[in-house]
């Protein structure tokens, strides 16, 4: 099926909540509006909006890029599976200047003198440090340099903000103990011609509730943050209503217009309708990943490893697009926590009441994710493919078109996921094979 109009936009970053427009225009703000570094910390428990991964944390700092603005980030490499620093223009897109991209991933960062990068050397000592600079005109080959803004200012995502608004973001997946509190965030030093340099230390209290936003002086920015973290705002245009991919057919989610994309990630996603008395079953041959590293860095690339990380997550396909939570259970499972049989992962998605016994217990060979209770909304299951190794050509990232199952299948080949639905009775009698042999969808 070829989708004629890509009506589905898959937003993949909960950090989007920090700077999405409120319903009215916002006045301009300067760099003095931000009092400390990383005022926005996004996790499913702090900001469960816009398709977060329950195993990741996103930190965001807004700024204004004048012709002389420079940002210097100085910090320690985190103990984590994945780490990146990315800068976005006012339209929430990545960019490049002089062939230098606005994104740098952990293994690409050169450590400070006499230190080591744990994603390049297994002998790097704990606490090794790095310095990354955002500068106006980087050149190819400059060490740890990103462009602070695109050559041509873009129309702002937030109505009323300066065209040269920028956003710097840190992503960390699977930090030590899966606890974002273990991550030591870098300081940010801001220099501008004619102004005294300012060093922003990491905020002591990033937002904990939608209204706890005193780390940003701008009232308009606080209103926008509170609106998004509270799950309000206009998201109707982000819901596919016509020319949608077929139910249970996986497609590459997102497009170049997706706000705050991660240059290292791709998403195979499928829409479906959950219902009481039914289970949804997803099965896929999975690429190898760095799961053996757990929540620690490991040299990259590595022989025999296809992806740095993959996960299955289940989302409510209705504004504000949260990851499903039910009775304290989050609807995401990371590669290290999902059993594989012969390289194949199988996940059952259902309500707690309809959860099959075969998914229970520490020895279960089948994974399980919850559906949303008391909701008639469609849901969306997504398989993240993060950071494909050189030579691995079957990631969904290689699909030629978004929202097109045919393109996704052509790119993924034998790794293309399959999904079906059946009644709980059918699954109880025949298991996964019985469900695929006798599918049934809610009316």
pLDDT digits (tens, 9 = 90+) for 326-356: 888 899 999 999 999 999 999 999 999 999 9
pLDDT at 336: 95
Give me the CATH code for the 14-234 domain, please: 2.60.120.1600
324 or 212: whose pLDDT is higher?
324
Give me the CATH code for the 237-437 domain, please: 2.60.120
CA distance 263 to 362: 35
Share above pLDDT 70 across residues of the chain, in percent, rounded to a whole number: 84
Average pLDDT, the chain: 85
Write down the residue that tokens 């710097």 correspond to: 168
Average pLDDT on 146-164 reads 82
DSSP string, 369-401: EEPPTT----EEEEEEEEEEPTT---SGGG-SS
Structure-token pair, residue 270? 């499928």
pLDDT at 250: 98
CA distance 423 to 161: 51
Q: Which of 133, 114, 132 is nearest to 124 (CA)?
A: 114
Q: Which of 388, 386, 356, 387 is nearest to 369 (CA)?
A: 356
Average pLDDT on 378-385 reads 96
Structure-token pair, residue 73? 């980030």
**Cis, bond preceding 320 (omega within 30 deg of 0):** yes
- The residues pairing with 97 across neighbouring beta strands, listed in sequence order, are 100
CA distance 264 to 397: 9
289 phi and psi angles, rounded to 5 deg: -140, 180
Write down the residue that tokens 């996964």 correspond to: 432
pLDDT at 380 over 60: yes
pLDDT at 298: 94
Spatial neighbors of 303 by CB under 8 A, at least 6 apart, are: none
The highest-confidence range among 198-212, 224-238, 301-315, by mean pLDDT, is 301-315
The highest-confidence range among 12-16, 154-158, 235-239, 276-280, by mean pLDDT, is 276-280
- Quickly count: other Cβ atoms within 10 Å of residue 52's Cβ: 30
Label the pairing between strands 344-350 and 367-370. parallel
Spatial neighbors of 79 by CB under 8 A, at least 6 apart, are: 126, 175, 176, 182, 295, 296, 297
Instruction: Give kind and range of the element (H or E) at residue 407.
Output: helix 405-412
pLDDT at 381: 97
pLDDT tier at 16 (50, 70, 90 boundaries)?
very low
Structure-token pair, residue 218? 């701008």
Residues of the chain with CATH 2.60.120.1600: 14-234
Average pLDDT on 18-40 reads 60
CB 295 within 8 A of CB 80: yes
């Amino acid at each position: 099926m070829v989708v004629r109009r890509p009506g589905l936009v898959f937003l993949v970053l909960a950090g989007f909540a920090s700077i999405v427009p409120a319903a009215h225009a916002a006045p301009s703000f300067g760099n003095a509006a931000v009092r400390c570094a990383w005022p926005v910390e996004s996790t499913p428990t702090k900001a469960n909006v816009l398709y977060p991964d329950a195993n990741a944390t996103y930190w965001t700092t807004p700024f204004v890029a004048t012709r002389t603005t420079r940002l210097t980030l100085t910090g320690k490499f985190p103990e984590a599976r994945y780490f990146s620093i990315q800068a976005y223009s006012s339209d929430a897109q990545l960019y490049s200047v002089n062939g230098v991209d606005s994104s740098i991933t952990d293994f690409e960062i050169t450590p400070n003198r006499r230190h080591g990068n744990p994603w390049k050397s297994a002998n790097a000592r704990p606490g090794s440090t790095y310095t990354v600079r955002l500068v106006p005109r980087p050149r190819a080959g400059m060490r740890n340099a990103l462009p602070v803004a695109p050559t041509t200012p873009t129309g702002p995502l937030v109505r009323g903000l300066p065209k040269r608004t920028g956003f710097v973001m840190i992503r960390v997946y699977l930090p030590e103990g899966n606890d974002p509190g273990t991550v030591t965030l870098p300081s940010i030093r801001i220099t501008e011609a004619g102004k005294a340099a300012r060093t922003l230390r990491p905020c002591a209290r990033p937002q904990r509730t939608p209204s706890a936003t005193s780390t940003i002086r701008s009232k308009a920015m606080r209103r926008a943050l509170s609106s998004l973290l509270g799950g309000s705002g206009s998201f109707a245009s982000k819901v596919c209503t016509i020319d949608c991919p077929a139910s249970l057919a996986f497609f590459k989610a997102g497009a170049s217009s997706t706000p705050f994309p991660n240059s290292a990630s791709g998403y195979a996603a499928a829409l479906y309708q959950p219902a009481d008395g039914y289970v949804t079953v997803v099965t896929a041959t999975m690429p190898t990943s760095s799961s053996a590293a757990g929540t620690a860095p490991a040299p990259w690339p590595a022989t025999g490893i296809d992806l740095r990380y993959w996960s299955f997550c289940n989302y409510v396909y209705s504004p504000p697009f949260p990851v499903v939570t039910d009775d304290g259970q989050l609807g995401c499972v990371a590669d290290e926590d999902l059993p594989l049989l012969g390289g194949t992962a199988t996940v059952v998605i259902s309500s707690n009441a309809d959860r099959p016994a075969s998914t229970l217990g520490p020895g279960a060979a089948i994974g399980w994710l919850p559906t949303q209770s008391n909701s008639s909304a469609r849901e969306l299951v997504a398989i993240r493919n993060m950071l494909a190794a050189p030579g691995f050509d079957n990631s969904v990232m290689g699909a030629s078109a978004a929202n097109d199952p045919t393109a996704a299948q052509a790119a993924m080949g034998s790794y293309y996921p399959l999904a079906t639905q059946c009644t709980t009775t059918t699954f109880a009698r025949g298991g996964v094979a019985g469900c695929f042999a006798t599918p049934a969808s809610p009316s």
